[in-house]
Amino acid sequence: MSGAIVPSPWMTPELEGFRDAVRRFVGSEVAPHAERFRQQQHVDRALWHKGGEMGILLADIPEQYGGAGGSFAHQAIVFEELAYIGDMAFGIHVHAIVAHYILNQGTEAQKLKYLPRLASGEMVGAIAMSEPGAGSDLKGIRSSAVKTADGYKIDGSKTFISNGYLADLILVVVKTDPAAGARGVSLLLLETKDNPGFRVGRILEKVGQKGQDTCELFFDGAHASLDSVLGGVEGKGFAQLMTELPYERTILGLSGVAAIERALELTIEHTKNRTAFGQALIDMQNTRFVLAEIKTEATVARIFIDRCVEDMLAGRMDTVRASMAKYWISDLQCKVIDQCVQLFGGYGYMLEYPIAQMYVDARVQRIYGGANEIMKEIIARSL
């Protein structure tokens, strides 16, 4: 996979070198194992350790906290390169999101305690917001945490939690004061090891992204320490979520653009090689027009997301634009991949063809990270 459809202005020679190293790593450690990851419904724990050694798990976390000390551009490259090999199993995205919550919202002690272990892959991170009865409307969550003499007692359940099977550290959204509405929500750092009140349910059988361990989680008097409240003060959970969600939504957009670029490249190659009615598919006007449209859309999306990356680097990315990136690009990703499947004909419906795998993996991009309708609500509030 050659990469961005137009050169990204934020790339530098140093970042090119980093990209080459990441490309080699994902090409040897992730891509060859994709089918096995799908069969077992999760990546190998050893992959997390290898990723830690490579410095790609927390590429944009400062070195003083064990991260690689790079910028958002380094982490963006990791997400792009995973998308360019079609990986949807290695949950670095969620892992990095958890680390950013801790970096930006945690106490100094929480940063020193957890970030080095997340950076090395010793701990795998997950964030548990969604529940069986509340996804888009997080005010409706029912999981609760009650303060006891030695910590917090957590009861409730979560569902659809990425990295749930392997997670050692889960940022759990709970109500610490059920009577206080949004002001009664807190984020707790829960360690899963030796925690008898915590249980991982089944790994959910999904339409796509089958190598990703998306799970149900159960809390039946699960224990979190007294200093587990993110930032040290109860009731700040909602504000913390609102502050950090743009990071998640920008990286969803970024991965979506890389997937569009890959789909286009795969389809150009296929339509050049496949013949029908005595000519290559790419010589037919419909194929050329469809691919011309996709190339235009891919270029527009790339230029837009590159601006988002630049704004992330400059610290001026905002919630509204992150919501635009998430909704518009994920919609485009699904549309483009569907068109590409059509140009592959029957082969586009065979999972041994990467375009078919991309088709089933893409659909959820419009749902998770906040459904696209919720993104439009956020954008509409800015009108």
Ligand X SMILES: Cc1cc2nc3c(=O)[nH]c(=O)nc-3n(C[C@H](O)[C@H](O)[C@H](O)COP(=O)(O)OP(=O)(O)OC[C@H]3O[C@@H](n4cnc5c(N)ncnc54)[C@H](O)[C@@H]3O)c2cc1C
Rounded to whole angstroms, the Cα distance separating 191 from 110 reads 12
Instruction: Return the sign of the alpha-carbon dihedral for residues 176, 181, 182, 183.
Output: negative
Rounded to whole angstroms, the Cα distance separating 319 from 245 reads 8
Rounded to whole angstroms, the Cα distance separating 362 from 207 reads 10
What angle (nearest 5°) sits at the alpha carbon of residue 132, between those of residues 127 and 134? 75
Q: Which of 199-227 are b and which e, b meaning 16 or more Cβ less than 10 Å from the residue's Cβ? A: ebeebbebebbbbbbbbbbbbeebbbeee
Q: How far is the CB of 244 from ligand X (least distance, A)?
A: 13
**Of 50-58, 82-90, 264-272, 362-370: span binding ligand X (CB under 6 A):** 362-370
Q: Which CB sits closer to ligand X, 70 or 91?
A: 91
Clarify whether 248 is annotated catalytic.
Answer: yes
Write the CB contacts of 287 (distance below 8 Å, at least 6 apart in sequence).
271, 281, 343
Backbone angles phi and psi of 152, in degrees to 5: -120, 145
Strand locations in 71-150, DSSP E?
Answer: 125-128, 144-148
Q: How far is the CB of 320 from ligand X (least distance, A)?
A: 16
- Contacts to ligand X from residues 302-331, by CB under 6 A: none
CA 227 to chain CA mean position, Å: 27
Rg over alpha carbons for the chain, rounded to the nearest Å, is: 21
- Contacts to ligand X from residues 53-92, by CB under 6 A: none
Among 127, 224, 254, 340, binds ligand X (CB under 6 A): 127
Among 129, 187, 258, 343, binds ligand X (CB under 6 A): 129
For residue 70 the two structure tokens come to 């790079």
For ligand X, what does the binding mask look like between residues 199 and 238, x meaning CB under 6 A? -------x--x----x------------------------
Q: How far is the CB of 253 from ligand X (least distance, A)?
A: 16
What angle (nearest 5°) sits at the alpha carbon of residue 330, between those of residues 328 and 335? 95
- Contacts to ligand X from residues 94-113, by CB under 6 A: 94
Among 73, 128, 167, 337, binds ligand X (CB under 6 A): 128
From the list 81, 248, 261, 297, the catalytic residue is 248
Q: How far is the CB of 58 from ligand X (least distance, A)?
A: 17
Yes or no: say if 9 and 306 are a contact pair by the CB < 8 Å rule.
yes
- Contacts to ligand X from residues 141-170, by CB under 6 A: 160-162
Q: How far is the CB of 214 from ligand X (least distance, A)?
A: 5
**Of 20-28, 134-142, 272-280, 333-341: span binding ligand X (CB under 6 A):** 134-142
Q: Is 377 in the site for ligand X (CB under 6 A)?
A: yes
Q: Is 124 in the site for ligand X (CB under 6 A)?
A: no
Q: Which CB sits closer to ligand X, 90 or 160?
A: 160
**Of 24-32, 79-87, 128-136, 332-340: span binding ligand X (CB under 6 A):** 128-136
Q: Is 367 in the site for ligand X (CB under 6 A)?
A: yes
Yes or no: say if 120 and 133 are a contact pair by the CB < 8 Å rule.
no
List of residues contacting ligand X (CB under 6 A): 94, 127-130, 135-137, 160-162, 206, 209, 214, 364, 367-368, 370-371, 373-374, 377
Active-site residue list: 248
